[in-house]
């Protein structure tokens, strides 16, 4: 991770196909084009993720937004999500008029199913399971909670493409799943995302909503009917072309990540101070991040700071991160935006300054995540692992 480390002839060939025709838009201009890159990417994603339908969009944020709309998350509906995620998760929820309800994570770094169940009210409509840093939340427990309370399970698998749960690809477990293909994801389109589902109804709604409500039933775009209102979340053919090449390389990328991950794991696993995130039974991560815990918050901060000073790059201490952890989300807590939020959102949003997220804090404050790069040589990975071990033994 990320896929941009390995841009090459495959990506150039697919992009040049588009440039040679001059048709950059995914819809229309049929006589001028000799390519359908977005459609090809959708077919590849659906096949790789073992689902009936895939629809590609302009970003992972767009994918989440469209997934919420397609599943009829409406004004004032509550959507439960974790305290550890990317800001796009709650942005998407707010954008459709719904209310983001944050709950604690557990040692999977994903939603704690018991915390989810305690947060359910008569307004709860969906649970957004966010698979952070290459691995999944406890989907067995979350599915039980959703089934018991008749809630929609939405998978935000933007950081975990290629991982599996009970031999099924992540993103295909819930009612609808979402991926990001932005610049720093395991596979990239530069900008892009995808929605996957086995529901024909959700797919039909999603592809209409992302293109101003077009039904896409005919061959004359100007004659399309518009059964619903929609917006523009289309991906371009140029972006999709990059994705067409990258999806073909996904399994190779994961194999490289796994190899590098195992080298680091082998060195660090014998250090008493180091423990690892829990991978739920039946789960296989995509190895894009190496995630570990240290005994105390103070030790974790010392080690992370030393990593940076001593050249162990691409490591993250999420507890102090602006984009990924609840502590610095003042814009959410105050609903700071350019638009007017509904009374249902103002009234429904909890006072997060009074919320007790000590269970999440206890976990995330002791977590370090290390990006696994594709471009490292084996020698570089081994040197990195030894340097990490030395720092942890001295400061952990």
Residues 143-196 pLDDT 10s: 999 999 999 999 999 999 999 999 999 999 999 999 999 999 999 999 999 999
Q: In terms of domains, do 78 and 215 share one?
A: yes
- Same domain? 234 vs 106: yes
pLDDT at 300: 98
Which domain CATH number covers 343?
A: 3.90.1150.10
The position carrying tokens 């990006």 is 371
Say if residue 1's pLDDT is above 90: no
> What's the CATH code of the domain at 70?
3.40.640.10
Partner residues linked to 182 by β-bridges? 190
At what angle are helices 200-209 and 60-70 packed, to 10 degrees?
A: 120
pTM: 0.97
Boundaries of domain holding 314: 251-395
Question: Residue 133's closest CA among 79, 203, 204, 82?
Answer: 82
Supply the mean pLDDT for the chain.
97
Q: What percent of the chain has pLDDT over 70?
A: 100
Q: Is the pLDDT of residue 111 over 90?
A: yes
Q: Are strands 315-316 and 367-371 parallel, antiparallel or unpaired?
A: antiparallel
Residues 6 or more apart whose Cβ sits within 8 Å of residue 215: 208, 224, 225, 226, 227
Two tokens, residue 311: 């050249």
pLDDT score of 3: 86
Whether residues 48 and 25 fall in one domain: yes
Give the pLDDT of residue 220. 87
pLDDT tens profile 74-96? 999 999 999 999 999 999 999 99
Domain identity same for 151 and 99: yes
pLDDT computed for residue 219 by the predictor: 84
Residue 385: the pLDDT is 98
Instruction: List for the chain the helix, strand, coil content (%; round to 5).
Output: 45, 15, 40
162 shares its domain with 203: yes
One domain for residues 143 and 239: yes
Same domain for 61 and 126, yes or no, is: yes
Q: Which residues of 134-154 are buried (b: 16+ CB within 10 A; e: fewer)?
A: bbbbbbebbbebbeeeebbbb
pLDDT digits (tens, 9 = 90+) for 344-383: 999 999 999 999 999 999 999 999 999 999 999 999 999 9
Q: Based on the domain organization, do 232 and 370 belong to the same domain?
A: no
Distance from C-alpha of 187 to C-alpha of 85, rounded to nearest angstrom: 19
Please say if the pLDDT value at position 2 is more than 90. no
Tens digit of pLDDT for each residue in 192-251?
999 999 999 999 999 999 999 999 998 889 899 999 999 999 999 999 999 999 999 999
Count of C-beta atoms within a 10 Å radius of residue 105: 27
Check pLDDT > 90 for residue 62. yes
Any idea which residue has 């293909």 for tokens? 181
Of 231, 249, 267, the one marking the end of a domain is 249
Q: What is the pLDDT of residue 218?
A: 87
pLDDT for residue 121 is more than 90: yes
Q: In the annotation, is 185 catalytic?
A: yes
Question: Do 209 and 265 sit in the same domain of this protein?
Answer: no
**Same domain, yes or no: 320 and 263:** yes
Catalytic residue among 37, 125, 175, 185: 185
∠ CA 375-377-383 to the nearest 5 degrees?
Answer: 120
Question: Does residue 219 or residue 29 have the better pLDDT?
Answer: 29
Same-domain check for residues 19 and 55: yes
Q: Encoding tokens for residue 91? A: 């942005």
Number of domains in the chain: 2
Pair 50, 144 in one domain: yes
């Amino acid at each position: 991770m990320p896929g941009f480390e390995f841009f090459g002839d495959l990506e150039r060939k697919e992009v040049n196909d588009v440039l040679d025709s001059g048709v950059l838009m995914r819809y229309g201009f049929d006589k001028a084009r000799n390519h359908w890159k977005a459609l090809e990417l959708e077919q590849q994603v659906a096949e790789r993720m073992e689902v009936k339908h895939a629809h590609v969009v302009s970003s992972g944020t767009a994918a989440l937004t469209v997934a919420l709309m397609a599943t009829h998350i409406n004004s004032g509906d509550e959507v439960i999500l974790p305290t550890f995620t990317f800001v796009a998760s709650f942005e998407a929820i707010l954008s459709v008029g719904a209310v983001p309800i944050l709950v604690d994570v557990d040692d999977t770094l994903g939603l704690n199913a018991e915390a989810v169940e305690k947060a359910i009210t008569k307004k709860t409509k969906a649970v957004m399971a966010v698979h952070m840093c290459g691995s999944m939340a406890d989907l067995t427990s979350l599915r039980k909670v959703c089934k018991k309370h008749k809630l929609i399970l939405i998978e935000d698998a933007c950081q975990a493409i290629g991982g599996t749960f009970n031999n099924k690809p992540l993103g295909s477990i819930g009612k609808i799943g979402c991926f990001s293909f932005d610049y720093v994801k395991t596979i990239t389109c530069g900008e892009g995302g995808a929605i996957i589902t086995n529901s024909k109804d959700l797919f039909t709604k999603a592809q209409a909503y992302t293109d101003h409500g077009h039904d896409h039933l005919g061959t004359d775009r100007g004659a399309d009917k518009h059964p619903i209102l929609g917006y523009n979340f289309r991906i371009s053919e140029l972006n999709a072309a990059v994705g067409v090449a990258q999806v073909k390389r996904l399994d190779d990328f994961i194999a490289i990540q796994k190899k590098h991950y195992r080298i680091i794991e082998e060195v660090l696993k014998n250090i008493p101070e180091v423990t690892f995130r829990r991978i739920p039974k039946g789960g296989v991560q995509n190895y894009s991040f190496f995630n570990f815990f240290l005994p105390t918050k103070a030790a974790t901060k010392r080690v992370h700071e030393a990593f940076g000073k001593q050249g162990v790059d691409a490591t993250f201490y999420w507890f102090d991160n602006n984009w990924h952890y609840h502590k610095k989300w003042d814009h959410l807590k105050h609903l700071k935006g350019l638009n007017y939020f509904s009374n249902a959102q103002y009234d429904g949003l909890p006072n997060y300054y009074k919320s007790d997220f000590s269970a999440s804090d206890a976990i995330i404050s002791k977590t370090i995540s290390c990006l696994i790069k594709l471009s490292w040589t084996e020698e570089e990975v081994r040197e990195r692992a030894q340097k990490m071990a030395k720092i942890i033994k001295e400061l952990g």
